Amino acid sequence: ELRTIELNPNALTLNTDIELGAGNFATVVPGILRMRSREVRAAVKVLKQANNQELLREELMREAQLMHQLDHPYIVRMFGVCDNNKTLMLVMELAPLGPLNKFLRTQREIMTSSGIALLLFQVAQGMCYLEERNFVHRDLAARNVLLVTECYAKISDFGLSKALNAENVYEARSVGKWPVKWYAPECIDFFRFTSKSDVWSFAITMWEAFSYGEKPYRGMRGSEVHDFLQKGNRLSSPLGCPPEAYSLMLDCWKYQSDVRPPFQQVRQRMELLMAGLEAGLN
Ligand code: ATP
């Protein structure tokens, strides 16, 4: 059922002098992948040598296989895996401008509300595709939205992603290293993940984008955020954020998951917002 995704190691050239980023267990370096008739720029996730253990290899392989099933313009493409010198490598499409949060912090002047809305509209389209395919991302955040250009965003980091069960739910068995400030209350309380919990995370991502890369719930601990939300509090509107954008965020942060809008509707509202901003109506 799963297509083979092994790439020929000879078709891959790494540039180990440059590091695009690093996680806990892996580093990401640029590379060139030679395909049948062309060459493509790649981002290659390589397990740090000390972490080259069976369990982590399996985890990375699962991430690669899940991503390889996805085919959408607003989702980072997985070309395949290379198992060179006993080091497993994930070969992905390169998003040269890197994570959205960092980009907005440094390129604040060049990004308008309308430009930000366009990027979020693209993310909403990618999330609609995931929702249709019954996958949950579980780590949607501005750090995991990567930029191909300043007006082209793609969703990345499928390390926590899962296929949903027949009830369209993923039930985690235990707490892991979770991005709790991006998680809906039912994720924390009942380990229950659905597309509606991704909708919550999408709105946190919106908030990060309209605050130009600020961290959500600054100065609070994860456990404090949970109480804060339960009391009915929410992140306040970023300065200069279009009111329609903030009202969408609030709808996505409804405590009850079933009253949050599905991604289909989030996408429509993002499109309207973007069109309005472009026309200068806001
Ligand atoms: P961990 O496994 O600890 O959670 P991580 O999930 O953050 O690590 P990634 O998000 O996969 O690891 O990658 C780490 C960094 O590498 C990203 O923040 C980004 O800067 C860079 N990166 C990842 N993929 C790409 C890509 N396709 N194009 C450009 N840069 C990328």
Express each pLDDT in 167-184 by its tens digit.
999 999 988 889 999 999
pTM summary value: 0.95
- CA-based max dimension of the chain: 58
From first to last of its 282 residues, the chain has per-residue pLDDT tens of 455 589 999 999 999 999 999 988 899 999 999 998 899 999 999 988 776 688 888 889 999 999 999 999 999 999 999 987 678 899 999 999 999 999 999 999 999 999 999 999 999 999 999 999 999 999 999 999 999 999 999 999 999 999 999 999 999 998 888 999 999 999 999 999 999 999 999 999 999 999 999 999 999 999 999 999 999 999 999 999 999 999 999 999 999 999 999 999 999 999 999 999 999 855
Residues having CB within 6 Å of any atom of ligand 1 = 20-21, 23-26, 28, 43, 45, 76, 92-95, 98-99, 143, 146, 156-157, 159
Are the beta carbons of 150 and 161 closer than 8 angstroms? no
Q: What is the value of ipTM here, to two decimals?
A: 0.93
Return the best residue to mutate from 14, 18, 24, 28 for the ligand 1 pocket (most ligand atoms within 8 A of CB). Answer: 28
Count of all residues that appear for the chain in the document = 282
Contacts of 201 (CB under 8 A, 6+ apart): 137, 138, 139, 140, 141, 179, 182, 183, 184
Q: Which residues of 16-25 are buried (b: 16+ CB within 10 A; e: fewer)?
A: eeeebeeeeb
User: For atom 15 of ligand 1, which residue has the closest CA?
Assistant: 21
Q: Which of 83, 62, 85, 93 is nearest to 7 (CA)?
A: 83
The residue behind tokens 């991302």 is 137
Are the beta carbons of 31 and 13 closer than 8 angstroms? yes
Catalytic residue among 17, 71, 83, 139: 139
Q: Give the pLDDT of residue 14.
A: 95
Express each pLDDT in 111-167 by its tens digit.
999 999 999 999 999 999 999 999 999 999 999 999 999 999 999 999 999 999 999
Instruction: Tell me the CB-side half-sphere exposure of residue 246, using CA atoms within 13 A.
Output: 12
Return the best residue to mutate from 58, 101, 156 for the ligand 1 pocket (most ligand atoms within 8 A of CB). Answer: 156
- Report the amino acid identity of residue 185: P
